[in-house]
Amino acid sequence: MTGPAPHSAGDDGLPEDGVAEPRLEIRHAPGPTRAVALFCHGGTVANLEPPRERALSLVRMRAIEQFVADEAAAAGVTTSLLRYRVAGWNGEAADAYADVRWSLDRIRAEHGTEVPIVLVGHSMGGRAVLRAGGEDQVGAVCALSPWTPPGEPVGHLRDRTVVILHGRSDRWVPASLSAEFAVRAQEAGASVARFTVAGGHSMLRRAHLWHTFVRDVVLAGAGLAPMRPDVADALHSADAGSLALSL
């Protein structure tokens, strides 16, 4: 099954400083949009160049977004893949987070202030969507091997749903980082479920598991389907065991 071809929203031109505006690659639901899923790929610690079109982090997130679009469009899910201005987080500038907030404004402008939004992010994108998880309309955050340095804020996630999936053999972003983040977020009042899976950072091993996991969290976070039982049980238990589950 092939979803609708994406179209872009944003400014593709280059301003005087040479930095493009962020943009969204959008696949609209065939009927009324009942929810929007925003997908945010990985990046680097510091880099002011635009992301490379063939960067693995972008290619993998586009594949996940396409799968969710194919599987969830009929339920009314419109998907948007964020294309960052620059490839790096860049310290206090937190450029990826700024671009996520820009995306949320664009989504609200197109779909209104009632449509639920599910945030999906990998690596640096995981950090960005977790940082934005307290924004209005966000029904859930799905963070894939998120880069969550010690001290990353968690207070804004109180009463929010956070679902994390991390590769146990990840050498780029050790799974211990999301484990520590999940504990602090749960202590701050977030509903957190955290799972680990065999494989590393690229989400290539057992790729279909990653894809279906995201699809299930998107549909449930949007209120369009029940949460899959393993995640629902973890969110309900709200204890240390819910943060160290294996798939």
* Cα-based angle 101, 63, 114 (whole degrees, multiple of 5): 35
In a domain, 5, yes or no: no
In a domain, 181, yes or no: yes
In a domain, 47, yes or no: yes
Domain of 144, CATH number, reads 3.40.50.1820
Q: How confident is the model at residue 17 (pLDDT cuts 50, 70, 90)?
A: very low
Q: What distance in Å separates the CA atoms of residue 185 and residue 163, rounded to the nearest whole number?
A: 11
Nearest Cα to Cα of residue 44 among 2, 89, 10: 89
In a domain, 117, yes or no: yes
User: How many other C-beta atoms lie within 10 A of the C-beta of residue 198?
Assistant: 12
Instruction: Express each pLDDT in 146-177 by its tens digit.
Output: 999 999 999 999 999 999 999 999 999 999 99
Buried b (16+ CB within 10 A) or exposed e, 23-59: bbbbbbbeeebbbbbbbbbbbbeeeeeebeeeeebbe
12 has pLDDT over 50: no
3 has pLDDT over 80: no
- How many domains, in total, are found in the chain? 1
Q: What distance in Å separates the CA atoms of residue 20 and residue 13, rounded to the nearest whole number?
A: 6
Please give the pLDDT value at position 7: 55
Q: Which one has a higher pLDDT value, 70 or 21?
A: 70
8 has pLDDT over 50: yes
Domain span including residue 241: 17-246
- For CA atoms 64, 26, 93, 59, give the dihedral sign: positive
The DSSP string of 33-100 is --EEEEEE---BSS--SPPPTT-HHHHHHHHHHHHHHHHHGGGTEEEEEEE-SSSB--GGG-HHHHHH
User: How many other C-beta atoms lie within 10 A of the C-beta of residue 151?
Assistant: 9
In a domain, 9, yes or no: no
Instruction: Express each pLDDT in 43-88 by its tens digit.
Output: 999 999 999 988 889 999 999 999 999 999 999 999 999 999 999 9
The tokens of 70 are what? 């194919």
In a domain, 12, yes or no: no
In a domain, 108, yes or no: yes
Residue 21: exposure state from Cβ atoms within 10 A (0-12, 13-18, ≥19): middle
Please give the pLDDT value at position 1: 36
Q: What distance in Å separates the CA atoms of residue 69 and residue 85, rounded to the nearest whole number?
A: 24
Instruction: Express each pLDDT in 178-237 by its tens digit.
Output: 999 999 999 999 999 999 999 999 999 999 999 999 999 999 999 999 999 999 999 999
Please give the pLDDT value at position 4: 47
Instruction: Express each pLDDT in 82-129 by its tens digit.
Output: 999 999 999 999 999 999 999 999 999 999 999 999 999 999 999 999
243 has pLDDT over 50: yes
Nearest Cα to Cα of residue 246 among 179, 181, 166, 127: 166
Q: How confident is the model at residue 21 (pLDDT cuts 50, 70, 90)?
A: confident
In a domain, 199, yes or no: yes
